[in-house]
A and B are shown apart, each in its own frame.
Chain A
Amino acid sequence: MKLFEATGLSKRFGDQVVLEDITLACDEGELVGIMGPNGAGKTTCFNVLTGRFRPDRGTVRFAGEDITGLAPREIARKGISRSFQIMNLFDDYCALDNVLIATPQVRRQGFNPWRDLDADSTAKDRAAEVLASVGLAGKERAAARSLSYGERRALEIGVALAAEPRMLFLDEPTAGLGAEGTARLTELVAQLRRRLTIMVIEHDMKFLFGLADRISVIHWGQVIAEGTPAQLRQNEWVARSNLGVLA
């Protein structure tokens, strides 16, 4: 049984068909990449998979359970976490608080009106560990808004990881990063894939073909090709398309 399975997903906004009969699947421990030109429907696909939009047709199953149309918070609680293409952080909070608020320990205490989070060293230690794992050790007290672009990208992943997910969705994690930042992020995702199932949208072909077990190509809201990186290199459409230089 697949850990994650989306079957026949369709989504339209008014007259505009954005997703048409999308089928994607992920085995436990796999890293599946999604590529495609701008406006192909990749982010909408992620939004449907993670509960931001309800699909018009099709089903989404995670760990054998139907999660179609569940709210993002319900999907998050089942063990799916995501990062965003346009960064979504708690900008007024420091890096540590960004991660702290996303941990299940704090979430479970969310309705406790008396506990003092600043006095909770266990939760803070756990949050500091997560920050260190994404390369932000020493930045705990820096305000999220004051971090560099690359550090904010790393924090975005840190917040997703803090929820202790079983599966992670990354939406263009290298967007806007320079060569050095991309290299650091590649190393981070390579580490994460050892313990997590990951689905990642990416334009950087070197990044994607270097890390992914399988890749699906989305164009005009449909999956037009899929396979291992080696198989896709042979795909005529992918080779001819202007999606970037293949690794």
Chain B
Amino acid sequence: MHLAAGRAGFFPAPLVLTLGLLLSTPLWIAQVGLYQYLALEIMIWMMFAMGFNLLLGFTGLPSFGHGAYFGIGAYAFGLLQLKVWPNLWFDLLGAVLVAASIGALVGLFISHRRGIYYALLTIAFGQVAWFVANKWHGMTGGEDGLLGIRRLPAEFGVLSFDLAGNNALFFFCLAVFALVLLGLWRLVHSPFGRVLSAIKQNELRASFVGYDVWLYKWLAFTLSTAVAGLAGALFAMAQQSAYPNVMSLQNSGFVVMMVLVGGGLVSFWGPVVGAAFFILARDLLGAYTETWLLWYGLIFMLMVLFKPDGIAGAWQAAMEAWRRRNRSAAASSGEGAAMRMAVARGGADEAV
């Protein structure tokens, strides 16, 4: 199957379900022993993973340095707020533009590649960003990070909403997440998304039917870094700080694992599932053992070995098996009824 199969509804059921579930978290999250900030963090990672999957799942381009753009968004948000203008809209837009511009620049150097060479180049550029964040003390705060980032109020003319609390920030991020999700959903079902998927399947053929493959790959990378930058900015706001750690190779690996475990290669919704699974595993396993990542790594290995299509792939396979069973049950009950009718008719004939 390909990821963008079928007609795209404006509000598909999984979108409504995801947003509904997130929206309802303030009602039940404390009752199950979790906390609102966790839901906020899950949502931000979902956004990051969804943007990343535009590149990995839909275009087939493996970026293993995407944490850099998440981090660039976080730092840009903080620096714009602290050094330029502390306005939420300006800082958010600025963070997205800075991440997308650096992504666009990096994209110029890597978009003629694919496969392992593409992956290696993304790692190299990611490490450059991580190194700069670590060493440029005057600008980024070095290893101490950028502290004192505020949760600025969302201002709509005369109206102003305070986002200082976790609940308020959660609802604000949920609104942003809904817009990103809807935008990505429409994008992958548009001709643009179809071309990305065609490039993933057969780059050579795509170029021979007239597509500028390089340009599409560059755009996919740039868009993906823009979403990563937005997620990073919201993360900086949530954490009220930005650290070089978010740009690390390890963090870049986390988003890859989220997408693969969730099933981003076979489903648009895979990263949503994967991000939730990862952050919950971190918190729940982490409550019992410091070596939670070891156990998560084992789950990841088992997934790759036995369910390479991830959780979403396993769900799709189960639904397909269920549908097949129903079809064969319906067919056999139809045959049974036909046989009973034939027997009844035969008996009647004999009586006559």
Among residues of A, the one whose C-beta sits closest to the C-beta of B9 is A116
Is B189 among interface residues, defined by CB-CB distance under 8 A? yes
Are B213 and A92 touching (Cβ within 8 A)? Answer: no
Is A49 among interface residues, defined by CB-CB distance under 8 A? no
Q: Which of B186, B194, B197, B207 counts the most chain A CB atoms within 10 A?
A: B194
Is B132 among interface residues, defined by CB-CB distance under 8 A? no
- State which of B7, B187, B202, B206 has its C-beta within 8 Å of the C-beta of A113: B187
Are A119 and B7 touching (Cβ within 8 A)? Answer: yes
The segment out of A6-14, A37-45, A69-77, A187-195 that lies at the interface is A69-77
The segment out of A104-112, A131-139, A200-208 that lies at the interface is A104-112
Are B198 and A82 touching (Cβ within 8 A)? Answer: no
Are A116 and B198 touching (Cβ within 8 A)? Answer: no
> In the assembly, what is the distance between CA of A87 and CA of B207, in Å?
15
Is B205 among interface residues, defined by CB-CB distance under 8 A? yes
CB-CB under 8 A from B213, the residues of chain A are 73
Which size bracket describes the interface of A in this complex?
A: 35 or more
Q: How many A-B contacts at CB < 8 Å in the complex?
A: 97
Are B187 and A102 touching (Cβ within 8 A)? Answer: no
Nearest-Cβ distance from residue A76 to partner chain B, whole angstroms: 4
> In the assembly, what is the distance between CA of A116 and CA of B192, in Å?
10
Is A117 among interface residues, defined by CB-CB distance under 8 A? yes
Is B289 among interface residues, defined by CB-CB distance under 8 A? no
Is A90 among interface residues, defined by CB-CB distance under 8 A? yes
Nearest-Cβ distance from residue A118 to partner chain B, whole angstroms: 4
- State which of A71, A88, A92 has its C-beta within 8 Å of the C-beta of B197: A92
Among residues of B, the one whose C-beta sits closest to the C-beta of A78 is B210
Are B2 and A117 touching (Cβ within 8 A)? Answer: no
Main SS class of interface, A: loop
Are B205 and A89 touching (Cβ within 8 A)? Answer: yes
Are B191 and A110 touching (Cβ within 8 A)? Answer: yes
With A92-B1, A92-B2, A114-B186 as contacts: A106 and B191 at CB distance below 8 Å: yes
Is A128 among interface residues, defined by CB-CB distance under 8 A? no
With A101-B195, A117-B191 as contacts: A76 and B202 at CB distance below 8 Å: no
CB-CB under 8 A from A104, the residues of chain B are 210
- State which of A82, A93, A100, A112 has its C-beta within 8 Å of the C-beta of B2: A93
Is B288 among interface residues, defined by CB-CB distance under 8 A? no
Among residues of A, the one whose C-beta sits closest to the C-beta of B187 is A113
> In the assembly, what is the distance between CA of A122 and CA of B74, in Å?
45
Are A107 and B190 touching (Cβ within 8 A)? Answer: no
Is B8 among interface residues, defined by CB-CB distance under 8 A? yes
CB-CB under 8 A from B6, the residues of chain A are 118
Is A115 among interface residues, defined by CB-CB distance under 8 A? yes
Are A162 and B209 touching (Cβ within 8 A)? Answer: yes
Q: Which of B191, B205, B211, B216 counts the most chain A CB atoms within 10 A?
A: B191
Nearest-Cβ distance from residue B267 to partner chain A, whole angstroms: 13
Among residues of A, the one whose C-beta sits closest to the C-beta of B193 is A113
Nearest-Cβ distance from residue B221 to partner chain A, whole angstroms: 15
> In the assembly, what is the distance between CA of A92 and CA of B205, in Å?
13
Are B202 and A77 touching (Cβ within 8 A)? Answer: no
Nearest-Cβ distance from residue B336 to partner chain A, whole angstroms: 30
Among residues of A, the one whose C-beta sits closest to the C-beta of B10 is A116
CB-CB under 8 A from A73, the residues of chain B are 207-208, 210-213
CB-CB under 8 A from B326, the residues of chain A are none
Are A106 and B187 touching (Cβ within 8 A)? Answer: no
> In the assembly, what is the distance between CA of A110 and CA of B210, in Å?
10
Is A163 among interface residues, defined by CB-CB distance under 8 A? yes
Fill in one digit per residue for A36-74: 1 if any B CB lies within 8 Å of its CB, else 0.
000000000000001000000000000000000001110
> In the assembly, what is the distance between CA of A48 and CA of B192, in Å?
29
Among residues of B, the one whose C-beta sits closest to the C-beta of A92 is B2
Nearest-Cβ distance from residue A49 to partner chain B, whole angstroms: 12
> In the assembly, what is the distance between CA of A159 and CA of B208, in Å?
10
CB-CB under 8 A from A84, the residues of chain B are 205
Are B209 and A93 touching (Cβ within 8 A)? Answer: no
> In the assembly, what is the distance between CA of A114 and CA of B204, in Å?
26
Are A72 and B192 touching (Cβ within 8 A)? Answer: no
Among residues of A, the one whose C-beta sits closest to the C-beta of B212 is A73
Is A91 among interface residues, defined by CB-CB distance under 8 A? yes
> In the assembly, what is the distance between CA of A47 and CA of B193, in Å?
28
Are B210 and A77 touching (Cβ within 8 A)? Answer: yes
Among residues of A, the one whose C-beta sits closest to the C-beta of B211 is A73
Is B332 among interface residues, defined by CB-CB distance under 8 A? no
> In the assembly, what is the distance between CA of A118 and CA of B213, in Å?
22
Nearest-Cβ distance from residue A39 to partner chain B, whole angstroms: 21
Are A90 and B198 touching (Cβ within 8 A)? Answer: yes
Nearest-Cβ distance from residue B142 to partner chain A, whole angstroms: 39
With A73-B213, A76-B209, A101-B195 as contacts: A93 and B201 at CB distance below 8 Å: yes
Given contacts A90-B201, A113-B193, 11 further A-B contacts (CB under 8 A): A73-B212, A88-B202, A90-B197, A92-B1, A92-B197, A97-B194, A106-B194, A107-B211, A113-B186, A116-B8, A116-B189
Q: Which B residues lie at the A interface, using CB under 8 A? A: 1-2, 6-8, 186-187, 189-195, 197-198, 201-202, 204-213, 216
**A-B interface, 4 closest residue pairs, ranked by CB to CB distance from nearest:** A118-B7, A76-B210, A102-B209, A92-B2
11 contacts between A and B (CB under 8 A): A72-B207, A73-B210, A82-B208, A88-B202, A92-B201, A93-B198, A107-B210, A111-B191, A112-B192, A113-B187, A116-B189
